[in-house]
Structure 1
Amino acid sequence: MRALTWHGKHDVRVDTVDDPEIINPRDAIIKVTSTAICGSDLHLYDGYIPTMKAGDILGHEFMGEVVDTGSASTLKKGQRVVVPFTISCGRCYHCSKQQYSGCDNGNPADNQDIAQTLYGHPMAGLFGYSHMTGGYAGGQAEYVRVPFSDVGPIVVPDGVDDDKVLFLSDILPTGWMAAENCEIEPGDTVAVWGCGPVGLFAVQSAFLLGAERVIAIDHFPRRLALAKTFGAETINYEEAKTYDVLMEMTGGIGPDACIDAVGLEAHGLFVDNVVDQIKASTYLGTDRIHAIRQAIIACRKGGRVSMPAVYGGFVDKFPLGALMEKGLTLKTGQTHVQRYTEPLLAAILEDKIDTTFLISHRMPLEDAAEGYRMFHDEQNEATKIVLKTGAASLH
């Protein structure tokens, strides 16, 4: 089969690789029809996530048709399914609490030591996202093996276009959980750092969960314009000082809740961020945390901070004093996707949530390397790239 493989920093290639096979009775094999490039994939592309190996198949946002099943799978051949990016057993302590991204069994035992050393505990397995998270082949491929297929995939009704439901695999539940973690109350003002895919879904979700005002922060005009379509007020951080504007907009109080949808590759010519970038480039630090610093400093006293953005290692200059002295609550984590897929699918089918607005480009899988370059270098224009298997170029 054809699949997108990782070969090093800014080096991804569509190669011919072995077809996946059923290994466990709970497995299924999916023929991928649509798969997307995620902002988290760019952390791999930029070389920030450790334990990648040459030839690893990328991709964790995908859906398709069931073509084979193990004896214990609950799926049937011919069904169309969306697959969560988290690989979760459904039976362990954490899964029983619907904390699916903390699953104890999704990450194979021979890979758990890496994460346990770095984080204290191993996380769940993830598709196409390094050997620290299981070394699983990802979904930017013609076919993919799906472990625990009786727990993760959600069956899509006939007649529903891929584009409407594909993002149930990751970014829609991630944006929703980010807003849910804000514990939004009537009348709340929510500030969202980053108008990438997760940030835009967080904007949409915050309004749906009852926020009165949402303030979206970015510097790409098209992404800010998309946030406005949902009713958000916007700040272009290249044209104004974010903290000062937020204080002015909230009468000096600060937002009730803040969402960091930027993560470890924060951009911008700010003193703290420039220092972070130097440290990252010289391996003295791994993450650039400008966005979460701003969110903590700007959030009102007693407010809530939600951090769906990905961070990978250790940081300095973290405003721990502000977090404590202001009495803030910080919630974060990989998304418990399986908790949200059914209610969010229902919301999509009832036209309460729109997902297709985000797609800027549709490309064949064979053009995936160019898709990565575009998503990396042309972020104003490329808001979301969907790859289609066996299709001619549609962009």
Structure 2
Amino acid sequence: MRALCWHGKQDIRCDTVPDPKIEHPRDAIIKVTSCAICGSDLHLYDNFMPGMENGDIMGHETMGIVEEVGSEVSNLKKGDRVVIPFTIFCGECDQCRRGNFSVCERSNRNKSLADKVFGHTTAGLFGYTHLTGGYPGGQAEYLRVPFADRTHIKVPGGIPDETLLFLSDIFPTGWQAAVQCDIQPDDTVAIWGCGPVGQFAIRSALLLGAKQVIAIDRVPERLAMAEAGGATVIDFSKESVVERLNELTRGKGPEKCIDCVGLEAHATATIDSMYDRAKQAVMLETDRPHVLREMMYVCRPAGVLSIPGVYGGLLDKVPFGMAMNKGLTFRMGQTHVNRWTDDLLRRIEQGQIDPSFVITHTVGLAEGPNMYKTFRDKLDGCIKVVLKP
């Protein structure tokens, strides 16, 4: 089969690789009908995340048709249409029983390595680093799904792939980011980053009843999409985020802040961003936490910081004393996808939201390597890329 494979920094190739096979009775094989490039994939593309190996298959936003099932999979059959969540989970361990699917205790096949790096293992993830199991991803013609009896979202026919695909990651990720804020009717929610996750966080915050949503970015196409979704926008390349947030909140600051940027934060000629780039260049810091610092500074005391943006390692000069004295609550983590998908699928079917609004580019799998660069550099108005194997 053909698949997009990682061969080093900024080196993604469309290779011919062996077809996946059933390896365990709880496996299924999926014929991929649609997949996508995620902002988290760009962290791998730019080699910010440790644990990638030459030839690893990329991708964790995938849907398709069941082709084959293992002997212990009784709730799926050939021909079923499914979206595959990016988190692999067993459904039986203590964390899964609590609904904490992204920290499943059994699905990371490199558990001993993750235990050493994280203290305790997280779940296995598709198309990500070997710290999370090194599972082949879904930017391919076929995908093997471990624990397939639980790791799936069965979806109806008659709804286009483009409307359902993002149940795999970015829609529930934006939703969880907003839910973690415990939004009240008089809340202002400020969201840093208007990429795909940010766009869903904006719409989720409004669906959950926020009084005002403020979106921060510098890319015109992203800001326009955020504004169309109901947000007040701030272009951080043209105005002070701190001053504008204080103006919009009458000096009190937003009650809730969401970081949809993560480790590759960009800022316009700020001292801390120049400091981060210098330390990163000499490998004294792995991540650029400008957004985290700014959120901690501007958030209203007793507010909430929700962090769906991915961080990979060590942060420097994070003003933790400021956050402690202001009584800020931090909520973060990879998304517990299947905790939310029944509700989100219902909202799609009822017409509350059509997730396909975020798509700007649809191409064949062979064009994937070029689209990584287009997406990373935000060329051609690119916000979200869907791939058709």
For 2:93, the equivalent position in structure 1 comes to 92
Residue 8 of structure 2 is aligned to residue 8 of structure 1:
yes
Question: 1:316-339: CA deviations, max 9, x gaps?
Answer: 111101110001111000000011
Q: How far, CA to CA, are the matches of 2:53 and 2:313 in structure 1? A: 19
Q: How far, CA to CA, are the matches of 1:272 and 1:143 in structure 2? A: 44
| Matched letter for residue 130 of structure 1 | T
| Matched letter for residue 47 of structure 2 | G
For 2:288, the equivalent position in structure 1 comes to 288
Shift, 1:3, TM fit: 0.3
Mapping of 1:103-252 within 5 angstroms?
103-108=104-109, 111-252=110-251
| Matched letter for residue 116 of structure 1 | D
Q: How far, CA to CA, are the matches of 1:44 and 1:75 in structure 2? A: 32
For 2:58, the equivalent position in structure 1 comes to 58
CA contact (8 A) 1:223 1:380 kept: no
CA contact (8 A) 1:189 1:213 kept: yes
| Matched letter for residue 223 of structure 2 | L
Question: 1:112-139: CA deviations, max 9, x gaps?
Answer: 2322222211110000001110010000
Q: How far, CA to CA, are the matches of 1:379 and 1:196 in structure 2? A: 13
The worse-fitting range, judged by mean Cα deviation, of 1-10 and 370-379 is 370-379
Q: How far, CA to CA, are the matches of 2:137 and 2:47 in structure 1? A: 17
Mapping of 1:231-380 within 5 angstroms?
231-268=230-267, 269-378=269-378
Question: 1:6-40: CA deviations, max 9, x gaps?
Answer: 00000010000000000111110000000000000
Q: How far, CA to CA, are the matches of 1:278 and 1:314 in structure 2? A: 14
Q: How far, CA to CA, are the matches of 1:338 and 1:39 in structure 2? A: 20
- Structure 2: state its 5+ residue gaps: none
Q: How far, CA to CA, are the matches of 2:274 and 2:235 in structure 1? A: 19
CA contact (8 A) 2:30 2:67 kept: yes
CA contact (8 A) 1:222 1:380 kept: no
Shift, 1:147, TM fit: 0.6
| Matched letter for residue 236 of structure 1 | D
Shift, 1:256, TM fit: 0.7
Q: How far, CA to CA, are the matches of 2:233 and 2:69 in structure 1? A: 47
Shift, 1:380, TM fit: 6.9
The worse-fitting range, judged by mean Cα deviation, of 370-379 and 5-14 is 370-379
Q: How far, CA to CA, are the matches of 1:144 and 1:9 in structure 2? A: 24
Shift, 1:379, TM fit: 5.2
| Matched letter for residue 243 of structure 1 | V
CA contact (8 A) 1:184 1:206 kept: yes
Q: How far, CA to CA, are the matches of 2:96 and 2:200 in structure 1? A: 25
Q: How far, CA to CA, are the matches of 2:113 and 2:291 in structure 1? A: 27
Q: How far, CA to CA, are the matches of 1:83 and 1:379 in structure 2? A: 28
Q: How far, CA to CA, are the matches of 2:69 and 2:386 in structure 1? A: 26
| Matched letter for residue 257 of structure 2 | C
CA contact (8 A) 1:4 1:13 kept: yes
SS of aligned partner of 2:7? strand
Residue 17 of structure 2 is aligned to residue 27 of structure 1:
no
Q: Percent identity?
A: 55
Q: How far, CA to CA, are the matches of 2:260 and 2:331 in structure 1? A: 13
> Please, what TM-score do these two structures have when normalized by structure 1?
0.97
For 2:40, the equivalent position in structure 1 comes to 40
CA contact (8 A) 2:35 2:59 kept: yes
Shift, 1:159, TM fit: 0.9
SS of aligned partner of 1:190? strand
| Matched letter for residue 323 of structure 1 | A
SS of aligned partner of 1:8? coil
Question: 1:78-108: CA deviations, max 9, x gaps?
Answer: 0110000000100001000000001011101
Q: How many residues align?
A: 387
Q: How far, CA to CA, are the matches of 2:33 and 2:87 in structure 1? A: 19
Q: How far, CA to CA, are the matches of 1:246 and 1:83 in structure 2? A: 38
> Please, what TM-score do these two structures have when normalized by structure 2?
0.98
CA contact (8 A) 1:98 1:336 kept: yes
CA contact (8 A) 1:220 1:379 kept: no
Q: How far, CA to CA, are the matches of 2:378 and 2:61 in structure 1? A: 20
For 2:81, the equivalent position in structure 1 comes to 80
- Structure 1: state its 5+ residue gaps: 390-395
The worse-fitting range, judged by mean Cα deviation, of 89-98 and 115-124 is 115-124
SS of aligned partner of 2:32? strand
Q: How far, CA to CA, are the matches of 2:199 and 2:41 in structure 1? A: 18
Question: 1:279-314: CA deviations, max 9, x gaps?
Answer: 122111100000111111110011111000000111
CA contact (8 A) 2:187 2:212 kept: yes
Residue 384 of structure 2 is aligned to residue 388 of structure 1:
no
Question: 1:244-301: CA deviations, max 9, x gaps?
Answer: 1101111110001000000000012321111111212211110000011111111001
Shift, 1:356, TM fit: 1.1
| Matched letter for residue 374 of structure 1 | T
Change (3 A) 1:379 1:119: farther
CA contact (8 A) 1:272 1:290 kept: yes
Name the Cα RMSD after superposition: 0.9
